[in-house]
Chains A and B, each alone.
Chain A
Amino acid sequence: MKRTFGALALLFIFGTLLVVANPQHGLKFGLGGEEWEKHRYTDQYYIEHGLEDVGGTNIVTDIVFDYRGYDTIGEATVLFTAIAGAVALLRPWRRDEE
C-alpha cells in the first residue's frame, strides 16, 4: 500500500519534471539571441564586467571567489563540518578507551 503510493508519487513528480523540461511549457534549453538576454542577463553581466570588476581572466573563478565568494566560504565550512562529523563519529567508543 505504502509502496504503491510512493511509486505513484514518484511517477507524478517525474511527470511534472518532464513537463518542466519541455521547452513549450517550462524551461528553455540552448538559449541564444534574445532569449539569452532575457534569461541569462546575470551571466552576461559577469562575462562583460568580470575582467574589470575582479581582474581575473577566468570567469568561473571570478564568480566563485569574488561575486559569490560568501558561498565558497559556506562550501568550505560544509567540508570542514563533514570532516569534523566523520572524525567525531569514527572515534573509539567510550568503553574501549578505559
Chain B
Amino acid sequence: MNVLPFMIIIPLLGAFATPIVGLAGRRAREAWAVLVSGATLGVAGKVLYDLWSTGKVLVYTLGARSPLGEGGFPIRIVWELDLLSGIMAFTIAFVAFLAIVYSLEYMSHDTGLEKYYTLALILELGMLGIVMTGDLFNFYVFLEIMSIASYALVAFRNDTWEGIEAGIKYMFVGSLASSFILLGIALLYGEYGTLTMAYLAKLMGENFTLTAKIALALLMGGLLFKSGAVPVHMWLADAHPAAPSSISAMLSGLVIKAGGLYVMARIAFSVFGLGVNLKTLGWVIILFACLTLIVGNAMAIVQTDMKRLFAFSSVGQVGYILLGFGIGLAAYGTDVGRVATAGAIYHIVNHALMKALLFMVAGAILHQVGSKNLNELSGLARTMPKTTAALIVGSAAIIGLPPLNGFAGKWLIYESSALFNPFLAAIAIIGTAFCTAAYIRVLYTFLGRPSERVMGAKEPGNAMLVPMFILVVAIIVMGLFPWAISEKVMVPAASMLANIKGYITAVLGGA
C-alpha cells in the first residue's frame, strides 16, 4: 500500500481539526496533537524504509496515474522523493513529535494553546510538504506555510518584548527573502514554461539561458537567508532565543534545514545540475560556508544568554553543511564530492538531533530556574543532574567527540575538505575550535559552585525529560555505528542526489 499521501493528509487533518478537538478540553487537545504527530512519524518511517530498501526515486502524481499528459510533458503536480527527502522527512517527523510531547509540560503555563498546537502541526506539515514536492511553485506554497507558522510561533509569547521584536524582524526580512524566491520561480516559468523540477532540469540541460542564471541567483539569495548563512543570519540569532524552547528546537533543528539547506541542495543538484557550471556554483556556496563557519562559531563564544549561544552555534553548524554541499558541487562526480555530500547529509540529521536536545535542555532550565543567563546559572549540575547530563551529551556531540554521532558527519566533511583544498579544512578546524570553546564555557558554568539562584531548582517532569532522553539515546546509538550508517544510508543518499539523470527519468519515464 502506498502510504505516501498520508504524510500530508495526517498533519493537514490534524491541524485543521485541532480547533474543533480543542473544544473537548485540554486533555483531548494534547492527546490529539501527540496522536497526529506520532502517526506522521509512523508514516515517515515507512516511507524512509521503502525508499531505502528499494533504492529508487519515488514519484507520486496528484490527480492522475502518470504525471505526463498526452503531450509528453508533466502537467500535474508531482511528489518526488529520493533517499535524501526520505531522511529529511523522517528527521522532521521525529523531532517534531518529540517537540510536541515536550511542549505538553513546557507550555503548560501559557495561554492560547489550541492555536499553539495548530501552528506547530502546520509547521511540521509545511516542512514535510517542502521535502516531498517535485514542483517548484508547490515548493513555494509550502515554504510560505512553514514560514508563516514560524513567524507566528516565534512571537507566540506576545507578553514578552523580545518575542514580538524578533517576530517582527523575522517576518519583515523573511517575507522579503520569500519574494526573491517567488521572483526567481516566475522568471523560470516565463523562460521555460513548466514548473515541474524534473522537466525544468531537462530543459535547462538543453538550453541554459541568462534568465535562468539570474533566477538561480535570486533563488540562492532567498535560500541562503532561510538557512541562516552569514551575511543574512541576524534574524536567526534573535528569533531562536525568543521563541518558546519547544519551537526553537524545531526552528534550529528543522526549519533552517528543510526550508534552506535541503532545497538549496535540491535546486543546485537536481534542477540546475545539468545547466549551470557546478564548479562556480560550488565555490560560491563554499565562500558563504567559510564565512558562516567562522562568524557563527566565533559569535557563539561571546554570548551570555544560553539560547542565543545555541542559536549562533546553529549558524556555525549550518556552515559545515554548506561546506559539504559546496564541495559536493565543486568536486561533482568525484569520490571527494560524494563523501562531502554524504557528510553534509549526515550532519543535517545529527545537528537536528543535537540542537533539538540542546534547546530542550535550555527550555527545561528556563522553565525550572526562570533564567537563561549563563552568569546566573553556575552549579546547576548539583540541583538538576539529569538535565546537565543531557546537556553534556549534546555539547560533546556537537563538538564532534568520537563516541557520539557528531563525530562521523564532521569527519566526512573534514576529510573531504582536506582532500579538496587544505585551506578549507583549516577553516573548518578553526570553526570547531571556536565551537569547542563556546561549549566548554557552558559546561564550566554548569559544573561550577552552585549560585543562590539555582539552589531551589528541581528537575523537570517526565513529559520534558523523556523527549530529552530519547534524543540522548538516539545520539548515542547513532554514535555507536557511525560508519555503518554512513555506508548504508548517507553515501547512497549522496549518490542519489548526485544522480541528476535518474531524478529526471523518474518523472519523465526514460524520455
Contacts and interface: CB of A to CB of B under 8 A. Distances in A.
Nearest to A40: B193
Nearest to A90: B158
A33 interface: no
B25 interface: no
A88 B210 contact: no
Contacts of B122: 77, 80-81, 84
Contacts of A51: none
B210 A26 contact: yes
A60 to B, nearest CB: 15
A88 B190 CA distance: 38
Interface string A35-50: 0001111110110010
B209 to A, nearest CB: 8
A40 B73 CA distance: 12
Interface string B152-191: 1101101100000001000000000000000000010011
Contact residues on B (Cβ < 8 Å of other chain), bracket: 35 or more
Interface in A36-93: 38-43, 45-46, 49, 66-71, 73-75, 77-78, 80-82, 84-93
A94 B111 contact: yes
Contacts of A25: 210
Contacts of B159: 93-95
B211 A39 contact: no
B141 interface: yes
10 contacts: A27-B187, A80-B16, A81-B149, A82-B148, A84-B122, A84-B152, A88-B156, A89-B152, A93-B158, A95-B159
A91 B111 contact: yes
A49 B76 contact: no
B119 interface: yes
Contacts of B158: 88-91, 93
The SS class assigned to the A binding surface is: helix
Given A67-B63, A68-B76, A84-B115, 12 more contacts: A16-B214, A26-B191, A27-B187, A42-B75, A42-B193, A68-B138, A70-B62, A77-B15, A78-B145, A81-B122, A84-B118, A93-B158
Nearest to B79: A70
Contacts of A17: 214
Contacts, number: 128
A1 B77 CA distance: 46
A97 B111 contact: yes
A86 B63 CA distance: 33
B115 A27 contact: no
Nearest to B209: A26
A43 B15 CA distance: 34
A19 interface: yes
B147 to A, nearest CB: 9
A84 B125 CA distance: 15
Given A43-B193, A46-B75, A70 B151 contact: no
B119 A84 contact: yes
Interface of B: 12, 15-16, 19, 62-63, 69-71, 73, 75-77, 109-112, 115-116, 118-119, 122, 125, 129, 137-138, 141-142, 144-145, 148-149, 151-153, 155-156, 158-159, 167, 187, 190-194, 209-211, 214, 217
A85 B148 contact: yes
Nearest to B218: A13
A20 interface: yes
B193 A41 contact: yes
Interface of A: 16-17, 19-20, 25-27, 38-43, 45-46, 49, 66-71, 73-75, 77-78, 80-82, 84-95, 97
Contact of A41 (B15, B62, B73): B73
A71 B196 CA distance: 13
Given A42-B73, A42-B193, A89 B156 contact: yes
Given A81-B119, A85-B119, A66 B69 contact: no
B187 A20 contact: yes
Nearest to B193: A39
A67 B61 CA distance: 10
A71 B77 contact: yes
A77 B158 CA distance: 23
A95 B149 CA distance: 25
A78 B148 contact: yes
Contacts of A97: 111
B77 to A, nearest CB: 5
A75 to B, nearest CB: 6
B78 to A, nearest CB: 10
Given A39-B193, A45-B69, A81-B149, A20 B155 contact: no
Given A27-B187, A74-B129, A87 B75 contact: no
B211 A67 contact: no
B152 A81 contact: yes
Contact of A74 (B111, B141, B151, B155): B141
B12 A77 contact: yes
A27 B191 contact: yes
B142 A74 contact: yes
Nearest to B125: A77
In the A-B complex, the 7 residue pairs with the closest CB atoms = A85-B152, A74-B141, A88-B115, A93-B159, A91-B112, A27-B190, A26-B211
A70 B75 contact: no
Given A46-B75, A71-B137, A81 B145 contact: yes
Nearest to A29: B190
Given A19-B210, A41-B193, A97-B111, A75 B119 contact: no
A71 B63 CA distance: 12
